[in-house]
């Protein structure tokens, strides 16, 4: 039986190691490449042929969604499956809009991921089962309903903070990346929420995606 060849793209080595063990335990999937950044993945795509790319979304530098877009531009026939901790439907929408072939949550990676890989390899679009109700609701929504909130005048720094929040980084991680204090990050987040009149993180993520910040 011919094995399905995959590349793992995740910035956490421990995660990649765990995924490799899970996938190769069944015997019909083979991990032939690994990458820790979107840039590395694109470079490998240009040099190695594989059936499915398993792409994390929260990557340093080029994030997973932008990496999917670039991979599809470079090799349109390449099948890409997003594997993420983000459970907000806006991430699903963004992955599909970028040309992704599937979307699976990391918390079910031990079982559903294998099913997803096989489906995507067959040329199907696979979406995590927890999003089935959302997809049905979305399909039945009247056209024009749920238009996005207009753009608000955020400062460049506020946009930068919002971008990192939407990508799932903690206050401490944002502070380290931007070389500012955690308190400064918290103050920026408070001002962003006040300007947007948004209190929940999921709505902040949706706004960031609507505005093209991620």
pLDDT at 135: 60
Whole-model pTM? 0.66
- Architecture of the domain whose range is 156-210: Orthogonal Bundle (1.10)
Tokens of 181: 């204090």
| Full DSSP string of 162-188 | HHHHHTT--HHHHHHHHT--HHHHHHH
Query: Does residue 206 register a pLDDT over 90?
Result: no
* pLDDT at residue number 140: 52
Cα distance between residue 176 and residue 185, in whole Å: 10
The pLDDT of residue 132 is 64
**pLDDT single digits (tens) 38-82:** 999 999 998 999 999 999 998 988 999 999 999 999 999 999 999
The CATH number given to 4-140 is 3.40.50.2300
The more confident residue out of 201 and 28 is 28
**Spans of all domains in the chain:** 4-140, 156-210
């Amino acid at each position: 039986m011919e094995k399905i060849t995959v590349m793992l793209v995740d910035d956490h080595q421990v995660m990649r190691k765990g995924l490799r063990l899970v996938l190769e335990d069944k015997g019909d999937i083979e991990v032939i490449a690994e990458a820790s950044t979107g840039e590395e993945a694109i470079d490998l795509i240009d040099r190695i042929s594989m059936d499915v790319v398993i792409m994390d979304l929260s990557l340093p530098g080029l994030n997973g969604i932008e990496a999917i877009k670039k991979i599809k531009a470079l090799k349109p026939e390449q099948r890409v499956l997003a594997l993420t901790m983000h459970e907000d439907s806006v991430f699903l929408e963004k992955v599909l809009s970028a040309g992704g072939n599937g979307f699976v949550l990391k918390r079910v990676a031990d079982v559903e991921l294998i099913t997803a890989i096989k489906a995507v390899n067959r040329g199907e679009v696979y979406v995590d089962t927890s999003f089935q109700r959302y997809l049905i609701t979305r399909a039945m929504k009247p056209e024009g309903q749920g238009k996005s909130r207009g753009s608000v005048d955020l400062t460049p720094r506020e946009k930068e903070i919002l971008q990192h929040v939407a990508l799932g980084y903690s206050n401490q991680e944002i502070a380290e990346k931007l070389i500012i204090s955690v308190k400064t990050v918290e103050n920026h987040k408070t001002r962003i929420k006040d300007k947007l009149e948004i209190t929940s993180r999921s709505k902040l993520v949706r706004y960031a995606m609507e505005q093209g910040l991620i």
